[in-house]
Amino acid sequence: MQNDMKTPLLAGAASDASEPLPRCPGGPVISIIGSGDFSRSLAIRLVACGFRVVVGSRNPNRIDRGLFPDGVDIRSQKEAVDSAERVVFAAVYPEHYYTLVGLRRQLAGKVLVDVSSATRLNSGEQSNAEKLAELFPESRVVKGFNVISAWALQAGVHDGSRQVLICSDCSTSKDTVLQLARSMGFSPMDVGGLCQSRDIEEAPLILFPSWGGPILTTFILFLFFYGYNSLKHILLPYLDKGQNNFHQLPLVTMNETLPAVALVTLALVYLPGLVAAVFQLCRGTKYKRFPRWLDHWLCRRKQLGLLSFLCVVLHAVYSMCLTLRRAAGYTLLNAAYHQVKADVENSSVGQQVWRSDLYLSCGILGFGVLTLLAITSLPSVGNAFNWREFTFVQSGLGYTALTLSIMHTLFFGWDFAFFPVAYPYYLPPMYLLALILPCIVLVGRLFLALPCLTLRLAKIRRGWESARHWPRNNQDG
Predicted pLDDT of residue 299: 92
> For the CA atoms of the chain, what is the radius of gyration?
32
In this predicted structure, the answer to whether residue 12 has a pLDDT above a threshold of 80 is no
Residue 198 has φ and ψ, to the nearest 5°, of -60, -45
Which domains are delineated in the chain? Answer: 29-205 (3.40.50.720), 211-467 (no CATH)
Distance CA 30, CA 111 (A): 10
| Mean pLDDT computed over 11-20 | 37
- Can you state the angle between helices 397-413 and 348-376, rounded to 10 degrees? 150
In this predicted structure, the answer to whether residue 166 has a pLDDT above a threshold of 60 is yes
Predicted pLDDT of residue 162: 76
Predicted pLDDT of residue 238: 94
- Residue 185: CA count within 13 A, CB half-sphere: 19
Amino acid 287 reads: Y
Amino acid 441 reads: V
Predicted pLDDT of residue 320: 87
Distance CA 268, CA 301 (A): 8
Instruction: Say which range, 8-22, 28-42, 340-354, has the weakest mean pLDDT.
Output: 8-22
Distance CA 415, CA 180 (A): 68
Give the contacts of 15 (CB within 8 A, at least 6 positions apart). Answer: 8, 9
Residues 401-412: pLDDT tens digits? 999 999 999 988
How many angstroms from the chain centroid is the CA of residue 20?
32
Could you give the residue ranges of the DSSP H alpha helices within 49-101?
77-83
Predicted pLDDT of residue 26: 56
Q: Quickly state the pLDDT bin for 24 (edges 50, 70, 90).
A: very low
Q: Quickly state the pLDDT bin for 32 (edges 50, 70, 90).
A: very high
Its pTM stands at 0.73
To which H or E segment does residue 349 belong?
A: helix 348-376
Distance CA 306, CA 366 (A): 14
Residues 432-445: pLDDT tens digits? 999 999 999 999 99
Instruction: Say which range, 10-14, 33-37, 359-363, has the weakest mean pLDDT.
Output: 10-14
Distance CA 53, CA 317 (A): 54
Predicted pLDDT of residue 22: 37
Residues 315-365: pLDDT tens digits? 999 998 887 766 544 444 454 444 444 444 444 555 666 778 888 899 999
Higher pLDDT, 69 or 168: 168
| Mean pLDDT computed over 441-462 | 93
